[in-house]
């Protein structure tokens, strides 16, 4: 077949590469993953398949070569897609391109560019990762990708990657195969290897090329954490060779790449760049340049990794193994090691579950919060915050972080000052970690103001209440603010359990009243529950959902009901942990059993984190609403009366001294243990986890949320339910509804009616159904 690439050097003339079938791909943001199997998503997938078949034979090259002054410009631009994805057809096309480009003896350099503004390459196609079921297939897939990228590295002239926007996973691995890398200092530019977040390892050369480029320790910081960095931090780490100032628009990147390609024709210019990369530091000389030092380094990394993953996530350990075994060998041999270990990782249940979690997050991104909503979405530019405590200060900080002015109001200036301090502390941590410059912190803090009256609220677009959890006090405050803010303003309560519908009655705008429940700490917890009261309008819900996404949160819409979703399900979990304490179980037994299950902390530790006074109040609300299955049996009140509030005052079930904590033996005297506990770790896990599944089934039956995906999103991002299990209801499906219902029946016979399986669960058991179709 005659080549479609340029045979003669021409100036800025465009010719396509080999034609390929158009493939519709799903964009990836390379962070977290989850599966969608509801009717809505199946319908979307059917539509996507129809589009694929319609365009199956249409031309659609992803690459085009332009040559200017003997410099090749290879532009990657997958047609009709928002982002560039390294799907199998794209990789085959790139392979053909490189074969033909290699034949251009007149080329002095090749510049790799993206044709999409704000996106370089967003990694591999997730569906292809999901569909690999055998280790051999995974290794072969990795080997094919490695082969293509090795052709880039083997080209007989310099190859430069000009990065603008997301450059993650396979995108960064392609850039690492290039000889030089420039990165645009734009807000959208992020570089990293987030594969471990999908339960896999970098498989196109990342575990081999990155350590050879920037050193083992720095490379492991990328590979084992999956973190993403901006252009400046990538430059400091040695990943990129030059940062393109943000003032330069996307259209100028081509010329900048061309100029750089011409610049490095000078051997001295190239030598300076390589010297900067190779600058040694004492740690590098001590650890990385000798066998014994590397052994110490890898042993330390392994211990830290196990401490983080607790053995639940195999990918970081396999990635570490790939680096350790491959670093001292020739690159080609190291790549084979990487491919084989990728094959092991990609077929694990953990990887499949993390892919499902990714799909869950994609569903949320596309969900307006209201079925088939096509109405207006209101934007919020000025935010009022009622209450300047831990939550109020955290909410104000979040607004300022997103460049939104926030006006706090509290009863006195000392309280307002505490809210300002809480916001400053969060920004200060970012400065300390060099994620923000001091000047940026000053500018962000300038967006937060405070007062003891309602001055500054008359132009608010959204007011978020975060005051004391006493409904009469909240209603009084809402009645006051309702008379001050403009008619378009939406009022929202950050309550964790009090009724939204009741609070709305204190205002003249029940349709513009909703819950907006952030989780503590606000800047870290991704979930926001958007609570629909009886009179809340679709417009209000859709606007708050869009706003939550805009400020970087993951929203789920929840019906107004005691405890909403997450606290209600957690209530059953924590109530049972409290009962086991009274039965004679130790704090260690309970917390260690649930840590082993995969929870981020044990339920007794969680009591301290939440605050024992808060836990007591929520427990009363839930018990009044749902009866004995949520009963705290008075234990928490007795403990709170002694002045123990948990971590916030240094004393609860644990004693806190700085960053250290230890169980306080005196706490057992306040619990009133009934005897000797003889349950196993597995029984402790079942007694805590199965009631959560049971409660979730009731929530679905009552319409508290619309679908199983909302439950799993809520529990993963609101309570830390183990992502490697795919979510609470994914775990239930995997374990088997028969097993869950049968175990609950056994526990009910032994411990009482609170374990009686929900009717929804029994219906599913009889019909042989699962939560996910």
Q: Which residues are catalytic?
A: 529
Q: Which strands form 490-493's sheet, in the order they lie side by side?
A: 448-451, 406-409, 383-386, 462-465, 490-493, 513-518, 527-532, 554-559
Distance CA(199)–CA(267), nearest Å, equals: 42
The residues facing 465 across adjacent strands are 386, 493
Give the full edge-to-edge strand order of the sheet including 166-168: 119-121, 166-168, 190-192, 228-229
Query: Which residues lie across from 527 on neighbouring strands?
Result: 554
Distances (CA, A) of 602 to 501, 562, 574, 591, 596: 33, 24, 9, 4, 9
CB 177 within 8 A of CB 119: no
User: Where do runs of H (alpha helix) occur along 498-553?
Assistant: 500-504, 538-550
Strand order in the sheet with 109-114: 13-16, 63-68, 71-76, 109-114, 159-163, 180-184, 242-244
Q: Give yes or no for a contact between 589 and 714, defined as CB atoms under 8 angstroms apart.
A: no
Contact 465, 355 (CB under 8 A): no
Integer Cα distance of 585 and 646 in angstroms:
20
Q: Token digits for 351? A: 């990887």
Of 103, 113, 102, the residue nearest 261 (C-alpha): 113
Phi-psi region of 238 (alpha: psi -120 to 50; beta: other; left: phi over 0): left
Per-residue buried b or exposed e for 312-336, using 16+ beta carbons within 10 Å of the residue's own CB: ebbbbbbbbbbbbbbbeeeeeebbb
| Pairwise CA distance, residues 325 & 168, whole Å | 24
Contacts of 74 (CB under 8 A, 6+ apart): 63, 64, 65, 97, 101, 110, 111, 112, 113
CA 696 – CA 498 distance, rounded (Å): 19
Pairing assessment for the beta strands 63-68 and 448-451 based on DSSP bridges: unpaired
Rounded distance, CA 332 to CA 149, Å?
Answer: 12
Q: Is 44 exposed, middle or buried (0-12, 13-18, 19+ CB in 10 A)?
A: middle
Place of tokens 């608010």: 460
**Residues facing 751 on adjacent strands:** none
Is residue 460 helix, strand or coil?
Answer: coil
Output the CA–CA distances (angstroms, integers) from residue 462 to 386, 486, 533, in the order listed.
11, 10, 17
Paired with 228 in beta bridges are 192
Token duo for residue 312: 């639940």
**Contact predicate 150/129, CB 8 Å:** no
Q: How far is CA 258 from the centre of its chain?
A: 36
| C-alpha radius of gyration, the chain, whole number | 28
Instruction: Write the DSSP assignment of 534-545 as a string of letters.
Output: TT--HHHHHHHH
Range list of β-strands (E), 551-687: 554-559, 654-657, 660-663
C-beta of residue 174 within 8 angstroms of C-beta of residue 155? no
Measured CA to CA, the distance from residue 314 to residue 327 in angstroms comes to 20
Closest of 699, 705, 693, 371 to residue 556, by C-alpha? 705
% helix, strand, coil for the chain, step of 5: 55, 15, 35
Residue found by looking up tokens 């990342």 in the block:
206
Specify the residue for token string 């008379």.
483
């Amino acid at each position: 077949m005659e080549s479609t690439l340029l045979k003669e050097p021409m100036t800025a003339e465009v010719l396509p590469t080999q034609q390929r079938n158009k493939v519709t791909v799903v964009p990836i943001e390379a962070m977290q993953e989850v599966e969608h199997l509801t009717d809505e998503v199946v319908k979307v997938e059917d539509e996507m398949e129809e589009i694929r078949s319609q365009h199956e034979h249409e031309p659609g090259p992803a690459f085009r070569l332009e040559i200017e002054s003997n410099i090749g410009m290879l532009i990657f631009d997958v047609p009709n897609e928002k982002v560039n994805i390294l799907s199998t057809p794209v990789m085959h096309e790139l392979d053909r391109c490189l074969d033909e480009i290699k034949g251009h003896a007149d080329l002095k350099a090749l510049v790799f560019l993206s044709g999409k503004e704000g996106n370089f390459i967003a990694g591999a196609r997730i569906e292809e990762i999901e569909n690999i079921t055998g280790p051999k297939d995974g290794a072969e897939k990795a080997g094919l990708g490695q082969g293509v990228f090795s052709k880039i590295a083997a080209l007989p002239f310099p190859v430069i990657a000009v990065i603008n926007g997301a450059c993650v996973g396979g995108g960064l691995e392609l850039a690492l195969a290039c000889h030089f890398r420039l990165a645009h200092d734009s807000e959208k530019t992020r570089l990293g290897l987030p594969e471990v977040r999908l339960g896999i390892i970098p498989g196109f050369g990342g575990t081999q090329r990155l350590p050879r480029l920037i050193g083992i320790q720095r490379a492991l910081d990328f590979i084992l954490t999956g973190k993403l960095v901006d252009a400046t931090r990538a430059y400091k780490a040695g990943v990129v060779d030059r940062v393109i100032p943000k003032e330069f628009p996307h259209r100028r990147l081509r010329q900048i790449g061309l100029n750089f390609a011409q610049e490095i024709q000078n051997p001295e210019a190239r030598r300076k760049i390589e010297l900067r990369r190779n600058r040694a530091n004492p740690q590098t000389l001590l650890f990385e340049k000798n066998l014994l030092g590397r052994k110490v380094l890898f042993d330390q990394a392994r211990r830290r990794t196990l401490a983080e993953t607790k053995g639940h996530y195999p990918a970081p350990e396999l990635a570490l193994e790939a680096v350790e075994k491959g670093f001292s060998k020739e690159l080609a041999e190291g790549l084979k090691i990487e491919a084989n270990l990728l094959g092991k990782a990609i077929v694990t249940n953990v990887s499949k579950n993390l892919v499902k979690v990714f799909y869950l997050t994609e569903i949320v991104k596309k969900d307006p919060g209201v079925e088939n909503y096509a109405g207006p979405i209101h934007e919020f530019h000025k935010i009022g915050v009622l209450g300047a405590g831990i939550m109020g200060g955290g909410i104000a900080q979040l607004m300022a972080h997103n460049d939104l002015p926030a006006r706090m109001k509290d009863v006195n200036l000392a309280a307002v000052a505490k809210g300002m301090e809480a916001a400053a502390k969060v920004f200060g941590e970012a400065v300390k970690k060099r994620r923000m410059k001091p000047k940026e912190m000053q500018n962000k803090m300038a967006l937060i103001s405070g007062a003891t009256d309602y001055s500054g609220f008359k132009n608010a677009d959204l007011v978020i209440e975060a005051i004391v959890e006493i409904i009469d006090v909240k209603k009084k405050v809402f009645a006051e603010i309702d008379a001050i803010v403009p008619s378009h303003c939406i009022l929202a309560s950050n309550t964790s359990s009090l009724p939204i519908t009741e609070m709305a009655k204190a205002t003249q705008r029940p349709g513009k009243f909703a819950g907006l429940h952030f989780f503590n700490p606000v800047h870290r917890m991704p979930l926001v529950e958007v609570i629909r009261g009886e009179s809340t309008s679709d417009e209000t819900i859709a606007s708050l959902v869009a706003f939550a996404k805009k400020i970087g949160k993951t929203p789920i819409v929840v019906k107004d009901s005691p405890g909403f979703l997450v606290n209600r399900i957690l209530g059953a979990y924590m109530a049972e942990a409290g009962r086991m304490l009274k039965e004679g179980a130790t704090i260690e037994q309970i917390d260690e059993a649930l840590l082993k299950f995969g929870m981020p902390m044990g339920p007794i530790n969680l009591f301290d984190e939440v605050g024992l006074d808060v836990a007591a109040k929520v427990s009363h609300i839930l018990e009044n609403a749902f009866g004995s299955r949520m009963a705290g049996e008075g234990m928490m009140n007795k403990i709170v009366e002694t002045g123990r509030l948990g971590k916030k005052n240094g004393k609860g079930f644990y004693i806190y001294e700085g960053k250290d904590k230890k169980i306080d033996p005196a706490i057992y005297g306040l619990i009133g243990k009934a005897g000797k506990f003889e349950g196993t770790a597995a029984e402790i896990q079942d007694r805590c986890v199965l009631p959560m599944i049971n409660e979730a089934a009731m929530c679905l039956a009552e319409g508290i949320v619309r679908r199983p995906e909302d439950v799993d999103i809520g529990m993963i991002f609101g309570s830390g339910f183990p992502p490697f299990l795919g979510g609470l209801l994914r775990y239930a499906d995997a374990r088997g509804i028969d097993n869950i219902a049968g175990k609950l029946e056994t526990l009910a016979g032994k411990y009482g009616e609170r374990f009686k399986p929900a009717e929804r669960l029994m219906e599913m058991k009889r019909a042989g159904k699962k939560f996910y179709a």
